[in-house]
Structure 1
Amino acid sequence: MNVMLAFALGGWEWVVVILAVLLLFGAKKIPELARGLGTGIKEFKKATREVTEEIQNATEETHSSPKKSAANGQASPAQTVSQSSTPPKA
């Protein structure tokens, strides 16, 4: 289903949808549902932010690790690959 079709509803269609929701859940239950939905969205954003931070920290650690080993006199993996990729002279 195309996502844009959901937003192509006119004014009367939205009125019918709202009335159907009122009939199904009742006026007292709607604020509770909205509160639960808000809490769920908040938790989802928090989890997304934590995963993004973990990925950024992991990438920063991998980028800083070769530089530290190169400073200690060890060849980084990129240097080793570039040196070994040149064919030996005959």
Structure 2
Amino acid sequence: MKLNVKINRGEHIDQFEVDYQPDMTVLNVLDEIYQHHDPSIAYRYSCRTGLCTTCMMMINGRPDLSCQKTAEPGEDGYLTLAPLPKGKTIRDLIKEY
């Protein structure tokens, strides 16, 4: 099964088609993109280190944790990812507060 993904990287939007399983989280999808499509994609996570919320981003237009949100397409048929609106974007999906 394939999932279409759009990632807002500031100056441009990248599109990917990734292999997808119904139980995947958004973080799993980002790992798939990093490992098989674009190793330059920048995103943050700190699961099991006590720094919860480092993986928070806009997912289909709403803020959510990428490690907990099930990956599913939005109304336009794409899983759309973007950095949170507040704070300075360092690169891709990484914010500085």
Q: Same fold (TM over 0.5)?
A: no
Higher relative contact order (CA 8 A, sep 6+): 2
Q: Which has the larger radius of gyration?
A: 1
TM-score normalised according to structure 2 size: 0.15
Higher relative helix content: 1
Higher relative strand content: 2
